[in-house]
Amino acid sequence: MAESMTKSVHFINLPDAAPGTHRAITVHKYGRVGARPKVYIQAGIHADEYPGMLVAHHLVRLLDIAAARDAIRGEIILVPAANPIGLAQFANDRHSGRFVFAMSVIDQDLVEILVNLS
């Protein structure tokens, strides 16, 4: 008898912006850990690139259906919004995305966190 497919949702906590707030990266995992083939999909690392995040959002629903039907071979890891810090950054009514206001790039800080998922 084949092992049943699973889905789990994990949260990678990020530094809080202010007391009483919380930020996290949401990770959806499908299939069996260590199964092959393995696919890692992420969107929004630059935060101001919306099309990939939109597709990933809809992909979660489709993968949920596939998981419920036991139709996933291998392992799938999906991070629909890889940079929630950048998603919240606006200056002068414009989305600034991947930069902190001191103008240093924050993408590399997230890469170390995300690389451990794959």
Please write the tens of the pLDDT for every residue from 23-72.
Answer: 899 999 999 999 999 999 999 988 888 899 999 999 999 999 999 999 99
Domain holding 96, by residue range, is 7-115
Q: Is 111 among the domain residues?
A: yes
Q: What is the DSSP letter of 18?
A: S
Q: Is 57 among the domain residues?
A: yes
- pLDDT of 104 reads 45
Q: Is 2 among the domain residues?
A: no
Q: Is 1 among the domain residues?
A: no
- Mean pLDDT, the chain, integer: 83
Note the pTM of the prediction, 2 decimals: 0.78
Q: Is 40 among the domain residues?
A: yes
More confident residue, 86 or 96: 86
pLDDT at 100 over 90: no
pLDDT at 107 over 80: no
Q: Which residues pair with 80 in a beta bridge?
A: none
Per the structure, how many domains does the chain have?
1
- pLDDT of 41 reads 96
The SS3 call for residue 40 is strand
Q: CA 31, 22, 64: angle at the middle one, nearest 5?
A: 20
Q: Which CATH number belongs to the domain containing residue 25 in this structure?
A: 3.40.630.10
Count of Cβ atoms closer than 10 Å to residue 91 Cβ: 9
